[in-house]
Amino acid sequence: MLFFLYCLQFVLPLHYTNLNLYIMIYKTTFKSHINIITTLFLAFLCASCEKAAISEDESNDNEKPQKGEITVVFGTNDIDNAFANEQYDSQQSRTTTPIKDICTRINLAIYDSDDSTKIKSINQDKSDASFGQIKTSLAKGNYIIVVVAHNGEGNATMTSPSKISFKDNKVTDTFYYYGDIEVDDNTKFDLTLKRAVAMVRLVVKDNTPTNIHNMKFYYTGGSSTFNAKTGYGYVNSKQTEIRTVPNYAYTSESTYDIYTFPHAGNKKLKIGVSALEKASSSKATYGRTIDDVSIKRNYITRYSGYFYGEDPSTGRGFNMTTDDEWQYDDYEY
């Protein structure tokens, strides 16, 4: 085609000199297309030669020891002072509980003991046959170990022992272990995890109106990021949780739980509770604010009362009382 156009400029009359311009444009366009195709082809060749990146989240607990490394097993089967259901007495609530009965994920991170640089991380979920038994390999030396067990939808981000965050900043019932270990031979470390969170439980004594389908909790004063070195919250967070109203709530009292990592110094929460017709609603059909909510690690602070109407005997309000399952602080509102 290019040769044909080139010949035409000598055959056609001179008043068709604009043809030279057309030929010039065609040549330029043709060369541009060739350059683009060449560039894309070279990029494809380069990409095909690159090694696939492997996320640290893909670390597993069945790796074989490398030269100079030895096998280390971490047993995390038990949780200390786990949450006890209503049917257990206070003595039973203080015994260890199998981790698989309470948590769905375990995240373990190993750090250098000198500068806290993370060496490796291993993740398990409840579907793993070895859930609670983590096997890995390490060179001889001293290390910092952090284990977090929880019920989040994704693995915890454990960049450093003092800053552990969770997917979408959602806090669930969470347990942890922090400690130093020395590895000098094939060995097993049995670790008992303890609770890291405080819970606030709202008990709504009156029946929920049938047009209400979600309860929204917006609260400040706690943290959604955890410091395993101190055992307290790391940042000042603004937390939001939305709970679906259970079917039984329309004919009886209902219960809603929220979690946070408490700060040192007994910092209190401020909680706004909104009853919504749907989760995306921007305006609450009913709403209450609870100020100065005391929280403590491994404690449940429970507020109970009439949310939509008034207590037939005492009028509208929440009561705060004390019970001792985890270790309870209960109030009326």
pLDDT score for 63:
60
The pLDDT-based confidence of 14 (bands split at 50, 70, 90) is: very low
**DSSP state letter for 186:** S
User: Helix %, strand %, coil % for the chain, to 5?
Assistant: 20, 40, 40
Environment class of 14 (CB within 10 Å of its CB; exposed 0-12, middle 13-18, buried 19+): exposed
Alpha-carbon distance values, 68 to 48, 71, 330 (Å): 34, 10, 55
Taking only the tens place, the pLDDT of each residue in 22-37 is 444 344 444 555 555 4
Q: Would you say residue 258 has pLDDT above 80?
A: yes
Q: Would you say residue 16 has pLDDT above 50?
A: no
Report the 10 Å Cβ neighbour count for 222: 28
pLDDT score for 121:
95
* Angle formed at CA 286 by CA 281 and CA 289, multiple of 5 degrees: 105
Domains observed in the chain: 2-49 (no CATH), 57-195 (2.60.40.10), 198-332 (2.60.40)
Task: Give the 3-state secondary structure of residue 117.
Answer: coil
Report the 10 Å Cβ neighbour count for 79: 24
Q: Which residues have a Cβ under 8 Å from the Cβ of 141 and sit 6 or more positions away?
A: 113, 182, 183
Q: How far apart are CA 111 and CA 190, in angstroms?
A: 18
Q: Which of 50-59, 155-164, 283-292 has the lowest mean pLDDT?
A: 50-59
pTM of the model: 0.75
